Structure 1
Amino acid sequence: MGSTSDVTVRVRQGAVAPLGTSLVGTYAGGEAWTAGAGSLEVRDPGRLDEVVGVVSTATVDDVDVVVEIARRAQAGWRARPVEERAALLTRAADDLQREHEDLAVVLTRENGTVLPNTRRELLGASGVLRTAAGWGQDLLGAGSVFEDSWGWVRVERRPLGVVACIVPWNAPVVLAAQKIGPALVAGNAVIVKPSPFAPLAVSLALRRIASLLPPGVLNVVHGDHDVGAALVANREVRKVSFTGGGPAAKVIMKSAADTLTRIHFELGGNDPAIVLDDADLERTADQISAQAFQRAGQVCYAVKRVYVPRALVTDFSEAMLDRVGSISIGHGLDPEATMGPVNNRPQLDRIRAIHSRLAETGADVRMTGRVLNPDRWDEGYYLRPAVVVDADPRDPLVQEEQFGPILPIVGYDTEEQAIEMANATEYGLGSSVWGSDHERAEAVASRIEAGLAFVNHHTALSPLGQKHVPFGGIKQSGIGWENSPSGLGEYLEFHSTLIPWPEAAR
């Protein structure tokens, strides 16, 4: 793919990227546009004086043009055999896997995540596309036929049409892949709107994928809330798939109601981890600390609260602090760094406000970790990881999603109380239970109100899980599913034909 810092685009007029940065804009119908409403700079959250790229934003009128391009392209894409669509998607997956390194560097520089994690994200996105291609070949085709003495029935699955996908900044490439993979193999045309906080790597990846597909099948638009609103409101958009926060989802849902547009939401989580009294505390602390603080805690299904038997709170907290204390905070490209900065100023201010409020309440907050370059600390959105020991279960830190590098440990008296506290929030994305007796741990996990329950781990889905487990949440954590055949079904609708035998029709 060559270096992503010198990608060639067709410049109509408008934004110009400084030397050594990426320039992205609307990509539709196989062409890159850099004219539009204006432009925005994307700065490195670990080195705020460095511009990583420039984004040309779309106008509301641009959105309507892109939707029409996608609508026209979708008819031909839908007509292609599913095997051909799957083959092109597999080719795109192979290309992304082969050329992921440059994109990983761009992603690290724009969203702050350490380079090993962004590499895994790019490779994970490749795997998601490949898996989606396999679902399409397995599940789509001529449909199912049923008959009896009356006649016969054919039941088919058909694409929806134009699908809008709105992706966040924390893991934009893999989260986009989870949407576009099934949507494309199903025969839909897709328009992706990235977050302004991390638009570069995902746009470059999507443009690369789009170049392997017929023009107009995969498109990208950039902009603020007005652009997103225009995309959702367009009557030719048949479905909106959104990953992000609840407040934005509610706005989308209200707008989609005007046109009865289908929606899919993957929203926030406040994942509980229940540590049982027979758990291996050292191993459990190893895994929870690694998972809870990856991407500086900015993961929807990260462990965000830990429930521990009251008698073990001190021992477990010490084990956690030992692990968290070894986290090295620095720039994402620093090979010594194991945690980078948070992504943006609102995130930084939000977590600082949590610290200030906890200090006022007298909570036992332990900030720790190793700062790699203290003299450059103020040049980025850096925070030290923190553990709150014996946190109040009623505190907003426990009840709400913090989405940052701060983790509360809550004591409980009985297993029943732990389950009750785990379920006592409006969220229901992921969860985990930790213990030596697997049957007991599984029984507890089955009672947690969440879309996902892990036992003795709380990590990304395994290849088996990726293939078979629907990813999504209940309650305020989402509507609909990604991954697995259920994720493919989100981008299909039924069409049934009922035909009586000639003699039955008389």
Structure 2
Amino acid sequence: MTITFDSLLSEITDPNGREILDPATGEVVGKARFEGVEVLDAAIARAKAAQPAWAACSDEDRAGLLLQAADAIDAATEPLAELLSREQGKPLNGPNARFEVGACATWLRATATTELPVQVLLDGDEGSAEMYYRPLGVVGAIGPWNWPMMITVWQIAPALRMGNTTVVKPSEYTPLSVLALVAVINSVLPENVLTVVAGEGDLGARLSSHPDIDKLMFTGSTRTGQSIIKSSADTIKRLTLELGGNDAGIVLPDVDPKAIAEELFWGAFINTGQTCAALKRLYVHTDVYDEVCTELAAVARSMPMGRGLDENNVLGPLQNKAQYDIVANLVERARESGATILVGGTPDADAPGHFYPTTLVSNIAPDNALVTEEQFGPALPIIRYETVDEAIELANGLDVGLGASVWSSDRDAARKIAARIQAGTVWINKHGGIHPMVPFGGVKMSGYGLEFGVEGLKSVSAPQVISG
């Protein structure tokens, strides 16, 4: 049966549920049923009861079902992308809605085909010892509103592959996307192996304290991550936390500004800047500062912003009014400080939706709030520096460390600088690129734990040594 947007929406919409609005127009996208803690508790109980049978399936069988789930997502790409665009705001084209849905299938396939063999630790006169990785039990997953489908798959795919059952709590801003994604995946999975319960923040708090949740995966703010750490302490729950970022980029004086301008732009403005590992503060050497600003501004002016269902647009609105206000306030404070607004900075107050124009800010002090606070939107501060040591000190000066980048025509020199930057990932001549086989995670207040690849499988498993 062909899945259409209307059929998909009707499957997940509750006539008595909460209205979810399109951030581009304010129109109602659908209605999501928001549940209470008692419904979540019942879902966890069902997941716990289903877990032994799921763990008893062969690894080959579980991997095969994940591959079938990827095929099911492929078959539903267009309705899933349309729903995502309407609910989250991101355009269909560019590195946006269709890209995100495609990434869900890609990550499922990569996770299904990643091998985690038994590790032989000793095998000789001293004896034998082997390391196995066993299921933990029930894994809870709390996702964000910026990449709601893709990040949910990052969380659930390795958990399911390793024999855990999972309970998902989506963001209250983007529940429909995750409800639809789970409905598609569940068309091939056994009952109660994967469950989604939409609701308010009290559900997340319950997941982090519930004694039958053995592992919790969370992507979101550092403040919420701190609360999760505290509330999970009594049950000594395993955690993977991907928290706030404020990624730095360092541009060396040997670059060709025109050649790197578009990569710089997408490093900062992918998903209209609403990405944890986006480039959020750009340090440029004084020798190329003006030219980098000029070339980056030219790219920014060429990128169309508007409603996501318009095939021509590649930038969309901010997903919610609260985030819009954060961006607008930070840019206004930068303007008042004497910084130069190169592009943007003046939203149309009468236009519908949460659109904030693509904004570049130059001649800004390193301690300005737009630099030191994560804006999480389409506004990039460009800071001038004189020496590489100064740039590294500024890049490392904040309490976050998710990603960073170095831009140079000399790759060896860039790698040496990268080694001095305090971040979980440092990219060379790009920013934010991820791969399902390359581990990803932050340092400092950006969280702990790794996702993706072999390390991602290990993170949702209990290591067991058999020695004899």
Scaled by the length of structure 2, the TM-score of the pair is 0.95
Q: For residues 6 and 99 of structure 1, do their structure 2 counterparts lie closer, same or farther at Cα, with a shift above 3 Å needed?
A: closer
Identify the residue that residue 11 of structure 1 maps to in structure 2.
Answer: none
Q: Is 2:5–2:82's contact at 8 Å kept on the other side of the alignment?
A: no
Aligned twin of 2:271: 295
Q: Distance in 1 between matches of 2:246 and 2:182?
A: 30
Match of 1:284 in 2: 260
1:40 aligns to 2:18 (yes or no): yes
Q: Does 1:481 pair with 2:460?
A: no
Q: For this pair of structures, how many residues does the alignment match?
A: 465
Trace 1:54-453 onto structure 2 (pairs within 5 A): 54-116=31-93, 117-135=96-114, 138-140=115-117, 144=120, 146-149=122-125, 151-368=127-344, 378-453=351-426
TM-score of the two chains, using structure 1 as the length reference? 0.88
For the residues of structure 2 that align with 1:207 and 1:383, how far apart are their CA atoms? 33
CA contact (8 A) 2:331 2:345 kept: no
Shift in Å at residue 378 of structure 1?
A: 2.2
- Structure 1: gaps spanning 5 or more residues: 8-20, 26-33, 500-506
Instruction: Please say if 1:466 is aligned against 2:411.
Output: no
Tell me the percent identity: 37
* Residue 410 to residue 76, structure 1, CA distance change in 2 (3 Å): same
Letter in 1 for 2:443: I
Matches of 2:241 and 2:188, distance apart in 1: 28
Distance 1:274 1:22 in 2: 48
CA shift, 1:434, in A, is 0.9
| Paired residue secondary structure (2:351) | helix
* Alpha-carbon separation, structure 1, partners of 2:250 and 2:227: 34
Shift in alpha-carbon separation, 1:155–1:338, aligned structure 2, 3 A: closer
The 1:377–1:114 alpha-carbon spacing in structure 2 relative to 1, beyond 3 Å, is farther
SS of 2:400's equivalent in the other structure is coil
Q: Is the 8 A contact 1:326 1:369 kept in 2?
A: no
Distance 1:224 1:362 in 2: 40
Residues in 2 aligned to 1:397 and 1:177: alpha-carbon distance in whole angstroms: 32
Larger radius of gyration: 1
Q: Deviations over 1:117-164 (max 9, x none)?
A: 1101111110101011112xx215x66474444654343210100000
Structure-1 separation of matches of 2:312 and 2:43: 43
CA distance in 2 between partners of 1:400 and 1:486 (Å): 30
How far apart are residue 279 of structure 1 and its match? 0.5
Unaligned runs of 5+ in 2: none
Residue 369 of structure 1: CA displacement?
9.6
Deviation, 1:323, is 1.1
Query: Pairwise CA RMSD of aligned residues?
Result: 2.0
Give, in whole Å, the separation in 2 of the partners of 1:447 and 1:342. 34
- Once the 2 structures are TM-superposed, how far is the Cα of residue 364 of structure 1 from its aligned partner? 1.2
Counterpart position of 1:17: none
1:442-482 CA deviation, whole Å, 9 max, x = no partner?
Answer: 21112111111111111422xxx431x21111111111011
